[in-house]
Amino acid sequence: MNTDQARERWALVTGASAGIGTAFARDLAARGFNVVLVARRAERLNQLGAELEDQHGIKTLVAAVDLSQGGARERLFKATEAQNIQIEMLVNNAGFGIDKGYTEQELDDQAAMLQVLVTTVAQTCRLYLPGMVARGHGRIINVASMAGVMPTIIGQSLYGACKSFVIKLSENLHLEYGDKGINVTAVCPGLTRTEFFGPANMEDDVKDVGDFAWSEPEEIAALGIEAVTAGEPLALPKGFYRTYARIVGLLPRWVQYWMVRKFNKTASGTNPH
Ligand SMILES: NC(=O)c1ccc[n+]([C@@H]2O[C@H](COP(=O)([O-])OP(=O)(O)OC[C@H]3O[C@@H](n4cnc5c(N)ncnc54)[C@H](OP(=O)(O)O)[C@@H]3O)[C@@H](O)[C@H]2O)c1
């Protein structure tokens, strides 16, 4: 593909103002994609957009959107349609955690979590897939979590369930649209060095976790892009998490439940988000 053709390729990254989303935007821009940058903090998105345009000679579009609000996905879709932007690579990455027990969480916070982690992922796939199918080519990366792969530590009941939804939806869409040129991947980070833990008051929970359990956001972005390019519907970080998931997956469910309870009592700081 020559440079002019490459410049017409567009990716859309939600949660591009920080962490894993910024890493996705940087990686995709370096691969020649123009990028739609989505999050609430417009100033950060504008700064990132200017940096990417400068470094890689690509185009960016900033969409300052609160994805917890009803109608946000449709407005985003209309904004890209209005610019004649055809999304080839959709990255559903925006997300957040809440560090409280299920019954202590505010109903509004839970509603926002469902909107951002579940509804947004389902609806952006619904909105952008038809164009991809019509063009016979598309890539979707949905950022899930190790918390969606295995029974989750106590206190992450809703978050883990949202991430399980993301994995299931990704696998199902991959199977349903794979023969139409569409690859869908759920990438499942474990602990990753981003701003995730600050707003959720989880910094103390994770501060003593050893380096073996941590990834850099750039590693997660590369993992997701390589997996979706290769047509793998599920991508787990190499090393600790992949081995852990394999071993835990072999155990009977009741042993997994016992481990979660035990783990929670003795080492709440090793929650594989
Ligand atoms: N870090 C980890 O250990 C870890 C592990 C497993 C999975 N994950 C998942 O990875 C994804 C990225 O998280 P991260 O670690 O990169 O966290 P982060 O550094 O806190 O970034 C979160 C991003 O999501 C955006 N966001 C949050 N709420 C939003 C809303 N209502 N509307 C629009 N954008 C919103 C934020 O942007 P604004 O605040 O500007 O809106 C920010 O860009 C999430 O889905 C998270 O669940 C993270």
| pLDDT for res 265 | 56
Q: Which of 159, 177, 241, 244 is catalytic?
A: 159
User: What is the number of domains present in the chain?
Assistant: 1
CATH of the domain at 25: 3.40.50.720
Closest CA to 20 of 167, 143, 124: 143
Q: Give residue 222 CA to ligand 1 midpoint distance, Å.
A: 17
CA angle 209, 213, 218 (to 5 degrees): 120
| pLDDT for res 131 | 98
Domain assignment of residue 111, given as a range:
3-270
Confidence of residue 6 (pLDDT cuts 50, 70, 90): very low
Q: Which stretches of 95-152 are DSSP H helices?
A: 107-113, 120-135
**pLDDT, mean over the chain:** 92
State whether the beta carbon of 68 lies less than 6 angstroms from ligand 1: yes
pLDDT single digits (tens) 174-211: 999 999 999 999 999 999 999 998 877 778 878 888 88
Q: Where are the beta strands (DSSP E) in the chain?
A: 10-14, 34-39, 60-64, 87-92, 138-143, 182-187, 234-235
Q: What is the mean pLDDT of residues 131-157?
A: 93
Rounded distance between C-alpha atoms, residue 231 and residue 214, angstroms:
25
State whether the beta carbon of 17 lies less than 6 angstroms from ligand 1: yes
State whether the beta carbon of 39 lies less than 6 angstroms from ligand 1: yes
Query: Ligand 1 atom 44: the closest Cα is on which residue?
Result: 95
Nearest ligand 1 atom to the CA of 22 is 43
Q: Give residue 4 CA to ligand 1 midpoint distance, Å.
A: 32
Q: Give residue 17 CA to ligand 1 midpoint distance, Å.
A: 9
pLDDT single digits (tens) 54-103: 999 999 999 999 999 999 999 999 999 999 999 999 999 999 999 889 99
pLDDT single digits (tens) 92-140: 999 999 988 999 999 999 999 999 999 999 999 999 999 999 999 999 9
State whether the beta carbon of 20 lies less than 6 angstroms from ligand 1: yes
State whether the beta carbon of 196 lies less than 6 angstroms from ligand 1: yes
Q: What is the mean pLDDT of residues 264-273?
A: 49
Nearest ligand 1 atom to the CA of 147 is 6
Q: Quick check: is 257 catalytic?
A: no
| pLDDT for res 8 | 82
| pLDDT for res 262 | 83
State whether the beta carbon of 224 lies less than 6 angstroms from ligand 1: no
In the structure encoding, which two tokens stand for residue 129, read together? 């897939």
Tokens 């793998």 found at: 232
Please tell me which residue, 213 or 29, carries the higher pLDDT value.
29
pTM higher than the cut 0.85: yes
